A and B are shown apart, each in its own frame.
Chain A
Amino acid sequence: ETGVTQSPTHLIKTRGQQVTLRCSSQSGHNTVSWYQQALGQGPQFIFQYYREEENGRGNFPPRFSGLQFPNYSSELNVNALELDDSALYLCASSFAPGQGADTQYFGPGTRLTVL
C-alpha cells in the first residue's frame, strides 16, 4: 500500500458530461501528478501540482483542469467528456516537484468509461 487513495474506483458517464476525480496523497507530499492511461498503453502525463499551483502540463486540452488543497487532497476535473476520455486515471504523489527525481507513489486509479 502506498498511502495514496483515489475515488471513485469506477465511473460511467455519457458524452458531454463533466466529471471530478479525487486523490488523497501521502501526508507530507507537496506534489501530485495526474496521468491518463488508455487500455494497453502507458500513462500519459496530464499535469502536476506543487503547493497548490500548476507546475507543468502535458498535451491535454484546457477542459482538463485540476485543484490541489492544503490537506494533501486533489481533484482532476474533465469537462465536455468525449469517448476518447475513457481510460484509467492515476494520481501520484511525491515530496518534490518534477517527476522522476523523487519516487512517486501511485494510487490504484479511477476507471472512467464514457458512453
Chain B
Amino acid sequence: KQEVTQIPAALSVPEGENLVLNCSFTDSAIYNLQWFRQDPGKGLTSLLLIQSSQREQTSGRLNASLDKSSGRSTLYIAASQPGDSATYLCAVEDGSNYQLIWGAGTKLIIKP
C-alpha cells in the first residue's frame, strides 16, 4: 500500500531564505508526482507536476525534483516571500489504479 510522508510538518523561516520541503513515498511504481499549495478557504492549487520519467520541473522560484528509485521528492523555494505562506502537499498518482495518494502537508510560515 502506497504511503506518502512529508517532513517537516511545519516550518517557519524569515523572508528571503531559500528552503526545501521533503516528500517520500513507499512504492516507486508511480505515474507522476505533484506538488500543491493549499490556502485556507481557497482550495488546492497545482504548482508542479513531474511525470515518472522526469527528474525535475521548474516554475519561477519553485523547483521540484523526483528520485523514483529512492522514493523521494523535494520542493525548493528560492528567495521566500510572506505570500508563500501556505500548506504545501505532495501527491503521487498510483501506477496501478491512477488514484492520487497524498501526504499530510507541510505548513510553511514566512516571517516578514
A42 touches B4 (CB 8 A): yes
Query: Which residues of B are in contact with A by a Cβ distance under 8 Å?
Result: 4, 31-32, 34, 41-46, 49, 89, 91-93, 97-105
The residues of B that contact A2 with a CB separation of less than 8 Å are 43, 45
- Distance to closest chain A CB from B33 (angstroms): 8
Rank and list the top 8 A-B pairs by shortest CB-CB distance, nearest first: A42-B102, A100-B93, A106-B43, A106-B44, A98-B98, A108-B43, A99-B100, A100-B32
The residues of B that contact A58 with a CB separation of less than 8 Å are 99
- Distance to closest chain B CB from A25 (angstroms): 13
Which of A42, A45, A107 touches B89 (beta carbons < 8 Å)? A42
A107 touches B43 (CB 8 A): yes
The residues of B that contact A109 with a CB separation of less than 8 Å are 41, 43
The residues of A that contact B44 with a CB separation of less than 8 Å are 43, 90, 92, 106
Closest chain A residue to B39 by CB distance? A108
With A44-B102, A106-B45 given, can you name 20 additional A-B contacts, CB distance below 8 Å? A42-B89, A42-B105, A43-B100, A92-B44, A98-B98, A99-B98, A99-B99, A99-B100, A100-B32, A100-B34, A100-B91, A100-B92, A100-B93, A100-B98, A104-B46, A107-B43, A108-B41, A108-B42, A108-B43, A109-B41
